[in-house]
Every structure is written in structure tokens, then in C-alpha cells.
Structure 1
Amino acid sequence: MVTLDETVRRLAADRDVLMDRTADRTEEELSAGYRVRGGPLGHFCESLRDLVARGALIDDLSRYDEQRWSAPVNLSDGTSRSMGELARHVMTVPGHEPYWHAAIHLGELAAAA
């Protein structure tokens, strides 16, 4: 289980990696297909713009108050998760530590961790 402080630290570091990678890029560069060693960014991210959008999703999810954060969310596959579980899912690359997303896809986990 990752502590709240560690979660916040990881999210901030992950965001910093993404902001550094996207700074001063043109619209065309942000929208262009982006590949890392394992192929496309993954998790439905085919461009840096997609990866930024995924980060924005966690910002939207984090605006929920505590009661709504832990309330069940019914997903299209019939499962029900809390908003917190959904946020963790969104920000975690399968098979990796939670709350590292951009850093893993951009090959900068060691530097960010």
C-alpha cells in the first residue's frame, strides 16, 4: 500500500516529467505519434497530447470531495469501483508501481523516483 504522502510525491514527480517533456513543443509535435522502447506510449496514449489528457483526467478526478471519492462508480463493464480506485487504475501502468504513468512511458522512472 502506498502512503498518501508517497502518492502525492509520485504524482508531482510524474507531472514534472511530463511537463518537462512537453515544454516548448509545437502543436504538431504534441499530436504526432510518439513511441518509446516498448512501442506507443500505451494505455491508449499514442501521442504526448494523449498523455497530457490522461494527466488532466486525474486532475478532474481529484476534485471530488472525500465522500464522493470513495463512493462506488459503475463502469461500463458492470464493475463498480470507488473514484479513488479508478484514479489509481488510470495513473498506474499494468505491472508497475502505482501512480507512475508518464515517467514509465517516457523512460524516466529512475530519474523521477
Structure 2
Amino acid sequence: MREPEEMGWYAVTIEDGSERVMHAAVARAPEHARRISEQEARAISEALRLERGDDPAPTAPAAEVDLSGINARLDALSEESIAHTEKLEAITSQVERVEGAVNDMTAGLTGEKME
């Protein structure tokens, strides 16, 4: 799994000379972008909305999503994975015991101990 990247707010000047705001990974921000605070980003966005005649209020937060079904499925898959791991360990143990018995029988017949 990838490590989370440090994120930052940036102001980018576009062709008409006005600024736009972007949120980007610090390591991948455009060279011409100017790092700004979140408050500056909000102010630039609000000014742009006013200029365009849009509602100057920030957009509404995203609706909550019920993840309980996904979490329940992940829990079930986790339990299933644990059960399969336990079965695999039991089978591996059986194979090792049989292998030991075969080695002992071979050593008894040939006089040589098998590795």
C-alpha cells in the first residue's frame, strides 16, 4: 500500500492573469504554482465565485455514505481468510508428519537418513 503524500494548497495563474486554486501532492505540484494557506485558497475561490456571479459560499460538504455493508463484508472476508489460514497450517502440519514418517521408513529400509 502506498504511503499517504503530503498535500498542499496552491495558487496557479492562468492565461487571463487570474488565479485558480488547486490542492495537490507537494512532490507533484506544478513548478509555476505558488504554495498558499487553506485560508488564502478559500479567499481566492470565493472571489472567483463572486466574479462569475455564483453563490460565494463554499460548496456543501459531501453527503455521508453508509459504509456498514462494506465493513461487514470486509469483516466476513477477514474471518474467512483466517479460517483458510488455519486449515492451511493444519494441512502443512499433516504433510510434515507424513514426510517425517516416510523419511523414517526409508531410513529403516535403506539405512540412510533422508533430509
TM-score scaled by structure 2?
Answer: 0.19
Bigger RCO of structures 1 and 2 (CA < 8 A, at least 6 apart)? 1
More strand by share: 2
Higher alpha-carbon Rg: 2
